[in-house]
Amino acid sequence: MSPAASPRWKRLEPDARREQILECATRLFGERPYAEVSTTDIAREAGVARGLLNHYFGQKRDLYLKVVKRMLLMPGLEESVTMTGTLRERVERSVEWYLDTVATHGKTYVAVTGMGGIGSDPELERIISEADDVAAAKTLEFLGLKVEVGNDARHRAMMRSYGGLVKASIREWIRGGTLSREDTQLLLSEALIVIVRDVFSQLAKQDGPARGDTRAPKTGPKR
């Protein structure tokens, strides 16, 4: 018969294989916590040898970071939302848009943003923080609050903090259903308004006095 009856495995372009593995990994990491997903599981799911994961992604942790990175790349805020009207209107529109995009990602978004999965990993935090930062900057820009460059760093820090409220309330909404979508939207809108309207202005006012000894404590009592 034919000499090469049937190849035991198929040879793919690196990009295609990488993509396929990434897809399987994304699905599994969405279903179970990080530690519960073994590289063997991912390899089996992709119909591939375990060693290939290391070949393409290095460590298991790196693969996970790739998954998170991709998950946090959300469609841009700038398009599809008009930035006209009062502050309240703009705020409500942007919150609404954000909830829409999150709704499409569903539980996977919650699983990734929530307890991350890998633990308090510096690299992972950097990625998430970076994504939060981008979201914060975009929100500020969208709301037309990018003028006072002097306070920009603190403004963004506060917007990242606001991101914590966003994630937590979304978790209440998606997971337990303890908040309806309207509740979530109301909460997020009001909070965002008060931040950009009241907090930012008070920030500018208090900017004069010394801020030297208001730093964070070191690390708490040693024992």
Partner DNA sequence: CTTACTGTTGACGCTGTGCCAACAAGCTAC
Partner DNA sequence: GTAGCTTGTTGGCACAGCGTCAACAGTAAG
Residues that bind DNA (CB under 7 A): 3-4, 7-14, 17, 37-40, 47-55, 58-61
Q: Which of 40, 59, 164, 204 binds a copy of itself (CB under 8 A)?
A: 164
- Which of the listed partners (DNA, a copy of itself, none) does 5 bind, with a CB threshold of 5 to 8 Å by partner kind? none
Q: Which is nearer to DNA, 9 or 177 (CB)?
A: 9
C-alpha to C-alpha distance for 195 and 159, rounded to whole angstroms: 9
Provide φ and ψ at 159, rounded to 5°.
-70, -35
- Which of the listed partners (a copy of itself, DNA, none) does 51 bind, with a CB threshold of 5 to 8 Å by partner kind? DNA
Q: Which is nearer to a copy of itself, 78 or 89 (CB)?
A: 89
For residue 168, give both structure tokens: 């937590």
11 binding a copy of itself? (CB under 8 A): no
Spatial CB neighbours of 68, under 8 Å, sequence gap ≥ 6: 112, 116, 124, 127, 128
Using CB under 8 A as the binding rule, the residues of this chain from 106 to 145 that contact a copy of itself are 106-109, 111, 114-121, 124-125
206 binding a copy of itself? (CB under 8 A): yes
Which of the ranges 1-9, 73-81, 89-97, 151-159 carries the binding residues for a copy of itself, by CB under 8 A? 151-159
C-alpha to C-alpha distance for 183 and 193, rounded to whole angstroms: 15
